[in-house]
Structure 1
Amino acid sequence: MTAPAPLRIAVLSFAHTHALSYVHALKEMPGVELIATDPDGAAAPDDAPRGAELAAELGVAYVDTYDEAFAWKPDAVVIAAENSRHRALVERAAAAGVHVLCEKPLATTVEDAIAMRDACETAGVLLMVAYPVRFSPAVRDAIAELRSGRLGRILGVTGINNGKLPQDRAWFTDPELAGGGALVDHVVHCADLLDELLGERAASVRAVSNRMLHAQRELSVETGGLVTIQYPGGVVATIDCSWSWPMSSATWGGLTLQVVAERGTVTVSPFAKGVAGHDAHGETWSPVGADLDALLLEEFVRAVRDGRQPQPDAGVGIRTVEIVKAAQASAARDGEVVHL
């Protein structure tokens, strides 16, 4: 039997740090041809490796422009650009008939997210949003346990997604490129898990935020926040989304979700397991367990080959952006409840 033609995938931009692990994962997949481009890297507001230099370190073929990447005629693209640049790249991919995996958040406005979904639907191409945490075996086991009904009705959820200030990629703290600060960066992962767990759109959002953390840097975005979400079924969820881990920490941070049900609680921490120690430079930490980015990419690649819509889809992307924008609006109005 003749082997299927290789799947051609282009990674568009190295702006998001996940792009590095996406390249590693795709390079390990059989039947995938890979190139990358990062034309905005030269203008990045930091000194992190970007562009052809980073491509050489990663061992991936590189082209200089998005035009060249699309001229290569990829079957699919992985978009890891700055948040505000997602829409233009998704719409360009849709116009070229190319399937899309887009980094989270899908967009910096709800209107952009909807336009991206509509462009892909019109073109008949797949659009998946990069929420790797939902692919954690621990998360999937917890959701299956809660859905089994053994613990009864879900009453409330406490989400914590804390981490270091992402100073090595300065665009994360640029309000134009990122669309905000910690509320944008860390709310969406928990919001995605809540979307998958509860299966309903949020009814209202209340949030507070401040810039007390890392105040000496005089950043123009929030560095800490607390978001409360009410769902139509009565569940109340909170998300601590702060950049509160010390810069000296050996790891980026962590995510924990605690679900309180009628007959018990379930707590899941997909990044909690690792090997700790010390070397000449200080504390060390090596995570153990599944490579969530690789699991995400495997699902995307399988879906492209099978011609089916992978999850999380654009609908999830839109609903999570709605929560972020409502949280920003609430925080700007001193915690006023915003209804969706």
Structure 2
Amino acid sequence: MKLRLAIFAAALCTLTSLPALAQSPVTDRPIRVVIVGLVHGHVKGFLNALPKNPAAQLVGIVEPNTALAHQYATQYHLPAALFSTDLERTLTTQHPDAVLVYTTIQDHRRVIEAAARHNISSMVEKPLTTTMEDALAIRRAAREHHVHVLVNYETTWYTSNAEAIREAQADHLGTIRRVVVHDGHEGPKEIGVGPEWLPWLTDPVQNGAGALFDFGCYGADLMTVLMHGKAPLSVTAVTQTDKPQIYPHVDDEATIIIRYPGAQAVLMPSWNWPFARKDMEVYGATGYLITVGPNGLRSRYHGEKEESQKNAPPLASEQSNSLAYLAAVLHGKINPQGDLSSLDTNMIVMQILDAARTSAQTGRTVELKPLPQ
């Protein structure tokens, strides 16, 4: 009798575990994504990475410029049936899990709101948008329709930045006192940005600003996470245009000072660097870390007489690239709150960028007020 009960219990245990096993392939299935816009050149990185990335399946591309769409179809050997000029129709017929937004920055709000009405999440290229009005509208749409809105930064997937954040948050550097972030390159025209991209990237309405927004967002994002999502007390910024013959309408040089209780950050976004760079210096009361490219670190801790160098450990697979991360969030494996890509973090980033733009225009320090909830 005891033996029969034991066998029955084992069989019951096996049967009750079968639904979970059956569901696991569904949980791990590739997410269905639609690209919206081809005017942001970062889309090329996605299209190059997609064939080797099992996390996502491309089910549609929306681009109203049919000549540009044809150019991409030819270059990446994409079937014509994948392309559309109608966003609403594509969302209705393809039922994607998420849209990947490669429009102008000004257009982010329009696309996010349209996707949210269909209960579809969005991942946009940095920064979140161009104004605080649009940022608040995006947050309302995300809350009302219970969708994710994520922001993709190249530097989020740098192991060096991840390790610097880990060490800072583990208190290996002591209390953070100062952070200095250098971001930028020689200039968009100088590096050969395409004709579909350069006009809006150098337009203060469609891009929000010049180098100030284009590269200031990276440091604001990193600093917000280092400060555990707290908004700063004030923002002071100075901008100038050193190459007015190339960039007559926007800044190409900026310095942003962000003040917190007991800490400061200095961001140096520029289209005037002699070469491309994205690096960060984090100084604490008992040590410092300096990132060197995507993977390297220089450090010195309390009691050490010399600086040392090392490579950062690899990221977990689900946090190693934007598509894997997006899939993990949509599958419920990662809660993005407080991450570099999260909406809550990027609302603070937008506060900083908006205040920096106002400070540069007025010549005054801008005191930040809490965001309306």
Q: Same fold (TM over 0.5)?
A: yes
Q: Distance in 2 between matches of 1:315 and 1:31?
A: 24
Q: 1:189 to 1:40 in 2, by over 3 A?
A: farther
- Aligned 8 A contact 1:36 1:55 in 2: no
User: Once the 2 structures are TM-superposed, how far is the Cα of residue 254 of structure 1 from its aligned partner?
Assistant: 1.1
Q: Secondary structure at the match of 1:215?
A: coil
- What is the TM-score with the length of structure 2 in the denominator? 0.77
- Structure 2, unaligned runs of 5 or more: 1-21, 297-313, 369-373
Paired position in structure 1 for 2:203: 174
Q: 1:292 to 1:183 in 2, by over 3 A?
A: farther
Q: Distance in 2 between matches of 1:131 and 1:153?
A: 26
Q: Distance in 2 between matches of 1:28 and 1:93?
A: 26
Q: 1:34 to 1:326 in 2, by over 3 A?
A: same
1:119-148 superposed Cα distances (whole Å, 9 cap, x missing partner):
011111111111231231111111111222
- Structure 1, unaligned runs of 5 or more: 43-48, 274-288
- Aligned 8 A contact 1:135 1:292 in 2: no
Whether 2:83 is the aligned partner of 1:67: answer no
Paired position in structure 2 for 1:164: 186
Q: Distance in 2 between matches of 1:188 and 1:292?
A: 24
Sequence identity percentage: 26
Paired position in structure 2 for 1:323: 352
- What is the TM-score with the length of structure 1 in the denominator? 0.84
User: Once the 2 structures are TM-superposed, how far is the Cα of residue 295 of structure 1 from its aligned partner?
Assistant: 1.1
Q: Distance in 2 between matches of 1:107 and 1:119?
A: 14
- Aligned 8 A contact 2:212 2:253 in 1: yes
Paired position in structure 2 for 1:280: none
What does residue range 184-195 of structure 1 map to in structure 2 within 5 Å?
184-195=213-224
User: Once the 2 structures are TM-superposed, how far is the Cα of residue 36 of structure 1 from its aligned partner?
Assistant: 4.2
User: Once the 2 structures are TM-superposed, how far is the Cα of residue 88 of structure 1 from its aligned partner?
Assistant: 0.4
1:234-278 superposed Cα distances (whole Å, 9 cap, x missing partner):
2111011110135xx5xxx111111111122110133487xxxxx
What does residue range 1-340 of structure 1 map to in structure 2 within 5 Å?
1=22, 3-4=25-26, 6-30=30-54, 32-41=56-65, 50-61=68-79, 62-65=82-85, 66-70=87-91, 71-167=93-189, 168=193, 169-170=197-198, 171-199=200-228, 200-212=230-242, 214-231=243-260, 233-246=261-274, 253-271=276-294, 295-306=321-332, 309-310=335-336, 311=339, 312-334=341-363, 336-340=364-368
- Aligned 8 A contact 2:279 2:290 in 1: yes
Root-mean-square deviation (CA), in Å?
Answer: 2.4
- Structure number, greater radius of gyration: 2
In the TM superposition, structure 1's runs of 4+ consecutive aligned residues that sit over 6 Å from their partners are 289-294
- Aligned 8 A contact 2:232 2:258 in 1: yes
Mean alpha-carbon deviation: is it higher for 110-119 or for 302-311? 302-311
1:59-107 superposed Cα distances (whole Å, 9 cap, x missing partner):
3443121234213221111111100000000000000111111111111
Q: Distance in 2 between matches of 1:94 and 1:239?
A: 33
Q: Distance in 1 between matches of 2:256 and 2:110?
A: 29
The number of equivalent residue pairs is 311
- Aligned 8 A contact 2:318 2:324 in 1: no
- Aligned 8 A contact 1:182 1:241 in 2: yes
Q: Distance in 1 between matches of 2:335 and 2:144?
A: 14
Mean alpha-carbon deviation: is it higher for 261-270 or for 74-83? 261-270
Match of 2:88, as an amino acid?
D
User: Once the 2 structures are TM-superposed, how far is the Cα of residue 53 of structure 1 from its aligned partner?
Assistant: 1.4
Q: Secondary structure at the match of 1:306?
A: coil
Q: Distance in 2 between matches of 1:230 and 1:308?
A: 31
User: Once the 2 structures are TM-superposed, how far is the Cα of residue 337 of structure 1 from its aligned partner?
Assistant: 0.6
User: Once the 2 structures are TM-superposed, how far is the Cα of residue 56 of structure 1 from its aligned partner?
Assistant: 3.0
- Aligned 8 A contact 1:164 1:244 in 2: yes
- Aligned 8 A contact 1:25 1:297 in 2: no
